[in-house]
Chain A
């Protein structure tokens, strides 16, 4: 290497980086600016997200506070009504009982509350943005790169500003999880609507549908299988992210995993891991079976 550098001009050999002083100055300016922003608007932001805190606390105390048998019966009922599948229902009951037996019931309830809230918020944010994206190529060209960043940026990185703004706790955890879990919801809503058969849309136009009627009667129903896949992905990603979010104060199974990592508790780590896997499979199978049930009309194909 050195021999090549002896014949090349210095500029081409060593990358001409901006000098350290300038970078340090830029870093300091940006950091200070951001800190200043947090100082002046932190309270306002906290007030805005306060309802989230209430909702999360309410759901958590509801899940944790209710007798386990009530929750179990409710879960089994919801899973059965959603999937209409006995195997999935029995599997749900068995895994929940196993989780309870190894003493992880309360932690699982906390995680369940967290994932439920995260999924609901992701759907509430994701579907409207997805619809907007599907309606306009310009919006799509702006939102897509943002989603790319959200999905590829290591989650630890955006924990930094989240913690700076919101501090440690459930709400920052929730926001971190939503940032991570909302992109598939947005992408698949957009994709689902864009894939709707042009002929059917033309028919809707020909009968004089307004934009809203078209969305309600044609686009959303026909995009539903894809949107359901988006919801499924969002749930899976929320479950994966609650472990990372435990680093900034989210309780539940994730916190146990984090402690197990720190202390090399092999058994505890895997028990909590498997509990997460159990919930993930319950959510996944139920939502997929529900999605298939919604698509019943397309099953019987006439020859």
Chain B
């Protein structure tokens, strides 16, 4: 299944009865607070431009009120934009007719919700077939596919339980199975793991990463947790007050935060799990020494491997095993240590 990229272009959302009247004013620089005070409208999103990679995980991160849940609802148009485009496979979702939109939602998207949003009167199996039932797929066929996904998310044996009989983590597995059974290209996950316990959350992240390795769907994942964003995201966009403050890979954000807001976020991150060896390696001089490390290895794993092997030096090799750079343990450790502040880093 070939997934397509999602292009969000110049997207604005202004909540209120006459939102459209204020787009130009906002473009000219009318602020969120002023819009609210003077005109009684709430600025939800402004000038969002994000290109969400095909077959990759796009994480949109932000604190509550930053507009991230509003943004994800524009992709399947649960919320209509005030201005702008959301392009999928060259088609603007925002201009679809009701009928086309329904077909788009049925076949191209599937969504997982923060509070699970399962149907309480249906069993796990009947919840899971919901998307196919809406599409009009036959009962036998849809139940067969649903059972497969229920097993994949680890709920085999619970098919006939009701959601109320399951724990939060298990309910969200049902939510995930329901979305996956739809077999859609786009998987929208709105703070899907935010309501779960930390351990179960990590567990569910692994489930998603494992599935994604083989499914290669275009996943849009909303979270307020930077660790989660860094673990899952092929690309991360950080939202604040309805505006994208920075977007890029996890490494780019951790290594060069765009402003103090993001610096504050990044401070608490375990850098050893984000930064890759090739980012800090020095140019290759002479012969490859010590342990070979594959490109893409994170610093924590590199340090563990080197200390385990009792060596101080290592070299980085590409996928074909060709050495491309060198590094030693002190370099790794200094890169893993969080700089005391953004200012210090600039001064250094």
Contacts and interface: CB of A to CB of B under 8 A. Distances in A.
B78 A297 contact: no
A217 B120 CA distance: 11
A205 interface: yes
B119 A300 contact: no
A303 B109 CA distance: 32
A286 to B, nearest CB: 21
Given A205-B105, A206-B76, A207-B111, A218 B165 contact: no
A302 interface: yes
B113 A221 contact: no
Given A206-B105, A207-B105, A300 B165 contact: yes
A210 interface: yes
Contact of B167 (A207, A208, A218, A302): A302
A208 B137 CA distance: 14
Given A199-B113, A297-B164, A302-B166, A207 B120 contact: no
A208 to B, nearest CB: 3
A222 B122 CA distance: 10
A207 B119 contact: no
A202 interface: yes
B119 A217 contact: yes
A202 B162 contact: no
Contacts of A208: 102-107, 131, 134-135
A74 interface: no
Nearest to B107: A208
Contacts of A197: 117
A301 interface: yes
Contacts of B165: 300, 302
Contacts of A202: 78, 113, 117
Contacts of A217: 119, 130, 133
A87 interface: no
Nearest to A209: B134
Contacts of B106: 207-208
Interface string A108-147: 0000000000000000000000000000000000000000
A297 B130 contact: no
Interface in A200-234: 200, 202-203, 205-210, 213, 217-218, 221-222, 224
Given A205-B78, A217-B119, A300 B162 contact: yes
A221 B130 CA distance: 14
A203 B120 contact: no
A207 B121 contact: no
Interface in A253-274: none
Contacts of B107: 208
> Could you say which of B109, B118, B120 has the most chain A C-beta atoms within 10 Å of its C-beta?
B120
Contacts of A209: 134
B115 interface: yes
A297 B182 contact: no
B177 interface: no
B54 interface: no
Given A200-B119, A202-B117, A207 B162 contact: no
A298 interface: yes
Interface in A170-203: 197, 199-200, 202-203
A200 B163 CA distance: 13
Contacts of B105: 205-208
Interface in B102-153: 102-107, 109-111, 113, 115, 117-123, 130-131, 133-135
> Could you say which of B76, B119, B123 has the most chain A C-beta atoms within 10 Å of its C-beta?
B119
A217 B135 CA distance: 13
Contacts of B164: 297-302
Contacts of A205: 78, 105
A207 B110 contact: yes
Interface string B20-48: 00000000000000000000000000000
B121 to A, nearest CB: 5
Given A200-B119, A217-B119, A207 B113 contact: no
A241 B118 CA distance: 42
Contact of A199 (B76, B115, B167): B115
A110 B134 CA distance: 46
A289 B118 CA distance: 25
B119 A218 contact: yes
Given A207-B130, A209-B134, A302-B165, 16 more contacts: A200-B117, A202-B78, A203-B117, A205-B105, A206-B105, A206-B188, A207-B106, A207-B182, A208-B103, A208-B135, A217-B119, A217-B130, A217-B133, A221-B121, A300-B164, A302-B167
Interface of B: 76, 78, 102-107, 109-111, 113, 115, 117-123, 130-131, 133-135, 162-167, 182, 188
13 contacts: A197-B117, A200-B118, A202-B113, A202-B117, A208-B103, A208-B106, A208-B135, A210-B102, A217-B130, A218-B119, A221-B121, A298-B164, A300-B164
10 closest residue pairs by CB, A with B: A208-B106, A208-B105, A203-B117, A297-B162, A206-B111, A199-B117, A208-B102, A207-B131, A221-B121, A300-B165
